[in-house]
């Protein structure tokens, strides 16, 4: 089973099962080196951390992309819940979209209360594809993003019966556009709970969910 977004390098994170695969995104310069110990990793600057990064860091990011083999650019994006300068967030996000376009890599996108602006910016880079991880937008935004060719990442939030909106979106989203993840949840092997919940919501066998979501990750990230 492929975990499309798991911060395995974070402190207090349990080890992943031997037969499991995960995409490990970075959040900034502080863990660009750490993520490289995993078979599949991504280089990026998280919107929460743009204020401690500079233009030089963006140049270093490109150098790392050129010299290594990341499967994606990210984690990058926009977060309007945090009190972080929006213009700076947008600058770093668009800079990383340009990198993704230049090096023909997908993006792992963090979008919180900012999905509309993320969509607006993505339309300027039509060649770029990727995943909106931990999707939290609206049904209409979900439909638009999948029409644009983007995958939606769902994590353990969908196992919460009170999360009615996101559960309904997961139920309605075509399986061909779904990725499953555990993000910063301390036990990445709980990915099985996410797959089972999607199986329950869609009333299809869990094996079908796992097979299709794995194929989606292989296709998007070019996994061997």
pLDDT digits (tens, 9 = 90+) for 11-49: 999 999 988 999 999 999 999 999 999 999 999 999 999
User: How high is the pLDDT of residue 224?
Assistant: 84
Please answer whether residues 209 and 192 qualify as being in contact, where contact means their C-beta atoms are separated by less than 8 angstroms: no
- pLDDT tens column, 104-117: 999 999 999 999 99
User: How high is the pLDDT of residue 75?
Assistant: 98
Please answer whether residues 57 and 18 qualify as being in contact, where contact means their C-beta atoms are separated by less than 8 angstroms: no
Distance CA 41, CA 68 (A): 10
- pLDDT tens column, 60-103: 999 999 999 999 999 999 999 999 999 999 999 999 999 999 99
% the chain with pLDDT above 70: 100
Task: Assign 212 a pLDDT band (cuts: 50, 70, 90).
Answer: very high
Alpha helices in 114-172 (DSSP H): 115-122, 139-147, 164-172
Distance CA 186, CA 193 (A): 14
Burial class (CB in 10 A: 0-12, 13-18, 19+), 80: middle
Q: What are the extents of the domains in the chain?
A: 2-221
For 50, phi then psi, to 5°, come to -65, -30
Q: How remote is the C-alpha of 78 from its chain's centroid? A: 12
Give the 3-state secondary structure of residue 180.
strand
Order of all β-strands in the sheet with 72-79: 24-25, 41-43, 72-79, 107-112, 130-133, 151-154, 178-180
- pLDDT tens column, 165-196: 999 999 999 999 999 999 999 999 999 999 99
Fold of 2-221: TIM Barrel (3.20.20)
Residue 59 in this model has a pLDDT that exceeds 90: yes
Give the 3-state secondary structure of residue 39.
coil
User: Residue 15 CB: number of other CB atoms within 10 A?
Assistant: 10
* 72-79 and 107-112 beta bridge pairing: parallel
């Amino acid at each position: 089973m492929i975990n499309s977004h798991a911060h395995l390098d974070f402190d207090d994170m349990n080890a992943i099962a031997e037969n499991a695969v995960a995409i490990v995104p970075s959040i900034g310069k502080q863990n660009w080196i750490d993520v490289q110990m995993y078979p599949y990793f991504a280089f990026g600057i998280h919107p929460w951390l743009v204020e401690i990064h500079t233009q030089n860091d963006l140049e270093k990011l490109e150098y790392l992309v050129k010299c290594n083999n990341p499967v994606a650019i990210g984690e990058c994006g926009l977060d309007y819940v945090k009190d972080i300068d929006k213009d700076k967030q947008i600058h770093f996000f668009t800079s990383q979209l340009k990198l993704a376009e230049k090096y023909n890599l997908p993006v792992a996108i963090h979008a919180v209360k900012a999905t509309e602006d993320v969509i607006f910016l993505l339309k300027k880079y039509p060649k770029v594809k990727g995943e909106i991880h931990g999707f939290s937008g609206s049904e209409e935004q979900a439909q638009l993003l999948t029409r644009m060719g983007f995958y939606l990442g769902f994590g353990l939030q969908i196992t919460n019966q009170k999360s009615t909106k996101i559960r309904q979106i997961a139920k309605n989203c075509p399986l061909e556009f779904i990725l499953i993840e555990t993000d910063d949840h301390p036990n990445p092997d709980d990915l099985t709970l996410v797959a089972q919940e999607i199986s329950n919501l869609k009333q299809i066998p869990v094996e079908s969910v796992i097979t299709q979501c794995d194929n989606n990750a292989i296709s998007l990230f070019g996994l061997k």
